[in-house]
A and B are shown apart, each in its own frame.
Chain A
């Protein structure tokens, strides 16, 4: 179980996250909704263990992020909005940076289910600089999944992707969640939230469970209301 308890993050004098709390069981998909600059990426960075919160606690299966940061981090896979890829190297070289598997083992691993769903094996020898945006995102996700994380954090995974890429990645996320993983997705794509067990609205650093809001309130209305509040 992933537990986020009263997390507060301050950047210089600005409070980015304010007493954020939520929890997710294994086999759950969590959606994060919010306007640009609402703190979604900061929350994901904090959950990944890359950013230390000013206050609050993070637990994964009772492992505290503050007390046992290394073990905690090992179980988290974080797919950032920007791809952490090295353009001059091939897709295979990029994958080998993040895993101890040999080239052959990698090739086999990627051509078998479930990773074969990402269709990465077909462009392993291609330099990243020649890959499309969708291919890069698939590669980025595959490089994270090679570490078999229990929690998958995805920051805008569908930005600038074509329909096929979106479909493939979504299929994989569903499979990942069904297999007992926890997925936390920050996105501006409305459709993705239909697949989430819980959707949270992040507004001015505070988190609100959208299920507690009045029924028939669309996500776009929620976002508009947060914009009005900010104004």
Chain B
């Protein structure tokens, strides 16, 4: 009897797969349609997020008194620093009044007033502070400027401390003038140059080396999962296609409803896997380079999708209601998982729900296996 139940189960699976194969044209059309729509969305979405002129240099007025050539030298050094060059547009002004006027007219975001004898003050240890005037508003630019100046100040402070420490050591040990000069050269040309050089402070590593994923790839994975979920709009007709008599007949053959749900899900998985092959090919064609291993590692994800949709179909009265439920549930969970836009853009209280969101885990796992 066990054997006959098993053979009935296999026949049910075979029939279910056959039914799903009849839905393949519809599945292909649906998935291609969604692929087209999501492709356009991702293209424009990422180009908006990463457009070349979305970040502008921060216009900063600088007043440097003419009293000291050291100040001019310092200005040249700072404006030549990599970190300043990339982020700040330094505009020299002739008087503090001119700087304030520019600030008021919103021509600049920040106004720096360098005191008289600034550089010589550093060397003598008197430390005349630079005055930083910001417009009375908290913008992204003012935060960047604040952090940037704080970093530079810290770097210069460290360099200053090193210079004084070296001189103190030389003086206390009464070292010969030549040795002291050698120390001075090493500090000036070596250590200070190191501090002021951005290129030596930071090394850039490719994302792949850190197993990190770009926003485009993250959106691609989310879209891919959404396409697989939405393709199930076609499958719900199959999932809800059995009447009461069918279940009764299967029950008399020893096949329980959970077993039917599993065979349905397995057949749905076969159809969805073929759709995944199509999507995989599309990713290869657009140069996204998905991992070949994902053809195996995505199997549990695709089966899970099929099973979830089958269970959602079971809960709903008709295929239309099932589709509506799938659409709303999946879209909402994907949004809350940061699949439609970076999590950082969501309100804080929604960001806290990410660790409880199963879709977030599904997206994270898929990201790891696909890229």
Contact = CB atoms under 8 A, between A and B. Distances in A.
- Chain B associates with chain A: yes
B22 interface: yes
B139 interface: no
A96 B18 CA distance: 12
A98 interface: yes
Interface in B114-128: none
Interface stretch (A79-87, A157-165, A217-225): A79-87
Given A74-B1, A93-B18, A98-B253, A80 B11 contact: no
Most chain A beta carbons < 10 A, residue from B12, B244, B248 = B248
Interface in B241-268: 241-246, 248-249, 251-254
A163 B359 CA distance: 57
Contact of A50 (B1, B15, B241, B252): B252
A98 B249 contact: yes
A50 B245 contact: no
Contact of B248 (A70, A78, A86, A98): A78
Most chain A beta carbons < 10 A, residue from B1, B11, B252 = B252
B15 A73 contact: no
A168 B98 CA distance: 106
Nearest to B237: A88
B25 to A, nearest CB: 12
Contacts, number: 62
B36 to A, nearest CB: 27
Contacts of A89: 15, 18-19, 22
A90 to B, nearest CB: 10
A74 B1 CA distance: 9
B244 A86 contact: no
A95 to B, nearest CB: 11
Interface in B205-263: 241-246, 248-249, 251-254
A78 B249 CA distance: 8
A203 interface: no
A73 B255 CA distance: 12
Nearest to A71: B1
A86 B15 contact: yes
Interface string B19-48: 100100000000000000000000000000
A84 B1 contact: no
B252 A73 contact: yes
Interface in A47-78: 48-50, 70-71, 73-74, 76, 78
Contacts of B253: 73, 98
A66 to B, nearest CB: 15
A100 interface: yes
Given A70-B254, A71-B1, A82-B243, A88 B19 contact: yes
B250 to A, nearest CB: 8
A45 B241 contact: no
Contacts of B18: 89, 93
A87 B8 CA distance: 19
B7 interface: yes
Contacts of A81: 245
B22 A88 contact: yes
A97 interface: yes
A48 B252 contact: yes
Contacts of B248: 45, 48, 50, 78, 80, 84
Contact of B11 (A70, A87, A96): A96
The 4 closest A-B pairs by CB, nearest first: A84-B245, A82-B245, A80-B245, A84-B246
18 contacts: A49-B252, A50-B248, A70-B254, A73-B254, A78-B249, A78-B252, A80-B244, A80-B245, A80-B248, A80-B249, A82-B243, A83-B245, A86-B241, A88-B22, A88-B241, A89-B22, A98-B8, A98-B11
Given A71-B1, A93-B18, 7 more contacts: A70-B254, A74-B4, A84-B248, A88-B22, A89-B15, A96-B15, A98-B11
Interface of B: 1, 4-5, 7-8, 11-12, 15, 18-19, 22, 241-246, 248-249, 251-254
